[in-house]
Amino acid sequence: MTSSQVASNHDGSEAVRGDAPEEGYERGLGSRQVQMIAIGGAIGVGLFLGAGANIAKAGPSLILMYALAGVIIFFIMRALGELLLYRPVSGSFAEYSREFVGPFAGYFTGWTYWLMWVVTGMAELTAAAIYIHYWFPGIPQWVSALVFLVVLFGANLISVKLFGEIEFWFSMVKVTAIIGMIVIGLGVLTFGFSAAGDTAQVSNLWAFDGFFPNGIGSSLMTLQGVMFAYLAVELVGVTAGESENPEKTLPKAINTLPWRIALFYVGALTVILCVVRWTEFAPDVSPFVAAFAKIGIPAGAAIVNFVVLTAALSSCNSGMYSTGRMLRTLADNGEAPRVFTKLSSTRTPAVGIAVSVLLMGIGVVLNYVVPEKAFGYVTSVATAAGIWTWLMICVSHVLYRRAVVAGRVPASSFPAPGGSVCSWIAIAFLLMVTVMIALSPDVRICLYVMAGWAVALGIGWRVLKARSPEVTRRREPALDKVG
């Protein structure tokens, strides 16, 4: 048995894990970058912009919705963490779906996660162009979008280290902005300075029609938007194949998720809703912009606009990174054209990234000519695809734990607390959110899109089965039986 197959459990005993295959990638992501990718994945446009509409629906109870969803996200990430330390591969959840659920599940999950990032990239590029328009109204929107597309594409082709460095600084901007907002807000609450000082108080959380001003049902309906804000936390799993030391960096990144959620979501929203009454927020305005304006910070709107711009570019940067890796995983399993398996001289999946970027570019053109409501449709499709990905992580984890008990696969050095119980809770929660999406006429269209996507992938699977039947057969991993 090789040393790479032995890891220490938390109780000091030795556990055997799957040997990670050498995928040809450069292990160029250090601990500093993986930590910031994990942090940045928990802070996105869904928080900076999406929270405004959700505050109008749920009032102060939105804080509880973010906390509840955050707990579920932590369950999902601990399940993913156990799988990652069992076998850290860049294909991540698609690979685990293929191994434990079946070949079709891996095929469907890989392509659906690719779709999630392509449509997210479409929205984020156009959003970034709109934010530039705030400062430079004379620059056509398509020009800004094209410039961002080319620059980020080039960065992703050069090396994974450059991707990690860009993501590090994007995340640093977002983290600094939120911490600054929290510190300033606490100062206003404590010392009463600024224009908001006279009305800023903790009682604002319940003084205006209570903590659930529109009822618990209305608050629960915001969970679909809340879950969109958490998209990309699973990106740390895609970095597994390119992390310098996944056995150390991945558990640390996952275990720090609760405090990140508590600080950046629950903490920030609590402070904002104490400083500014929830009734003063408009659905189409970022609560951060509104809070900065109420406090009277000079150039507050411009500061937040810059932060939201970095959030959009960060998301698009991550999308280019993950789509290329997922296409390579699909191609390596015979589920996509073999050309996607090739790595460039800098050991990046250049062909997969290029194809994904071209499709994102088509999205920029489409979003330029369609009404703004298209953004809502695109983000709802991304949410539905994200929910499927999270479901597959949890289902794979449940089946993995059964396989460990049966002695068919080695145990992980990073077991999820409570075994598979938390995964079952997460599965029930995600199904509940799906039902809520079905009940909401504004975003229900994403389920129709996903149904059409499922039909298209089903047809593709039948064609694949006819041409290469060996690809569609269940394959057991090359691991020794344990016990």
Query: Which H, E and C letters describe the chain, residue by residue?
Result: CCHHHEEECCCCCEEECCCCCCCCCCCCECHHHHHHHHHHHCCCHHHHCHHHHHHHHHHHHHHHHHHHHHHHHHHHHHHHHHHHHHCCCCCCHHHHHHHHCCHHHHHHHHHHHHHHHHHHHHHHHHHHHHHHHHHCCCCCHHHHHHHHHHHHHHHHHHCHHHHHHHHHHHHHHHHHHHHHHHHHHHHHHHHCCCCCCCCCCHHHHCCCCCCCCCCHHHHHCCHHHHHHHCCCCCHHHHHHHHECCHHHHHHHHHHCHHHHHHHHHHHHHHHHHHHCCHHHCCCCCCHHHHHHHHHCCCCHHHHHHHHHHHHHHHHHHHHHHHHHHHHHHHHHCCCCCHHHHCCCCCCCCHHHHHHHHHHHHHHHHHHHHCCCHHHHHHHHHHHHHHHHHHHHHHHHHHHHHHHHHCCCCCCCCCCCCCCCHHHHHHHHHHHHHHHHHHHCCCCCHHHHHHHHHHHHHHHHHHHHHHHCHHHHCCCCCCCCCCC
pLDDT band at 326 (very low <50, low <70, confident <90, very high): confident
Q: Which of 104-108, 202-206, 366-370 is least confident?
A: 366-370
Domain 28-471 has CATH 3.30.1180.10: no
Q: Determine the pLDDT at residue 77.
A: 92
* From 26-30, 133-137, 254-258, 351-355, the region with the lowest mean pLDDT: 26-30
Of the two residues 235 and 202, the one the predictor is more confident about is 202
Q: 360 Cβ partners below 8 Å, 6+ apart? A: 118, 121, 122, 125, 149, 316, 319, 320
Instruction: Tell me what pLDDT residue 406 has.
Output: 92
Tokens encoding 138: 């004379």
pLDDT over 50 at 97, yes or no = yes
Does residue 18 surpass a pLDDT of 60?
no
Among 316, 377, 430, 393, residue whose Cα is nearest residue 40: 316
For position 236, what pLDDT does the model report? 72
- What is the band of 10 on the pLDDT scale with cuts at 50, 70, 90? very low
C-alpha 444, offset from chain centre:
21
Question: CB 22: neighbour CB atoms within 10 A?
Answer: 8
- pLDDT in the model for residue 1: 36
Dihedral angle, C-alpha 315, 318, 324, 327, nearest 10 °: -70
Mean pLDDT for the chain? 81
Is 70 exceeded by the pLDDT of residue 158? yes
What is the pLDDT confidence band of residue 33, given thresholds at 50, 70 and 90?
A: low
Q: Where is pLDDT greater, at 309 or 91?
A: 309
**Residue 6's pLDDT is what?**
40
Mean pLDDT on 340-362: 86
Contacts of 88 (CB under 8 A, 6+ apart): 20, 240, 241, 243, 246, 247, 250
pLDDT in tens, 356-380: 999 888 777 766 666 456 666 777 8
pTM of the model: 0.84
Mean pLDDT of 197-208: 86
What is the average per-residue pLDDT within 249-270?
Answer: 85
pLDDT-derived band at 38, boundaries 50, 70, 90: low
Q: Could you give the percent of the chain with pLDDT greater than 90? A: 27
Res 426: pLDDT = 97
Confidence of residue 5 (pLDDT cuts 50, 70, 90): very low
Q: Which two tokens stand for residue 87?
A: 């076998």
Q: Which residue has the higher pLDDT, 284 or 248?
A: 248
**Model pLDDT for residues 304-322, shown as the tens digit of each residue:** 788 888 888 888 888 888 8
Q: What is the pLDDT of residue 445?
A: 87
Residue 15 — very low, low, confident or very high, per pLDDT cuts 50/70/90?
very low
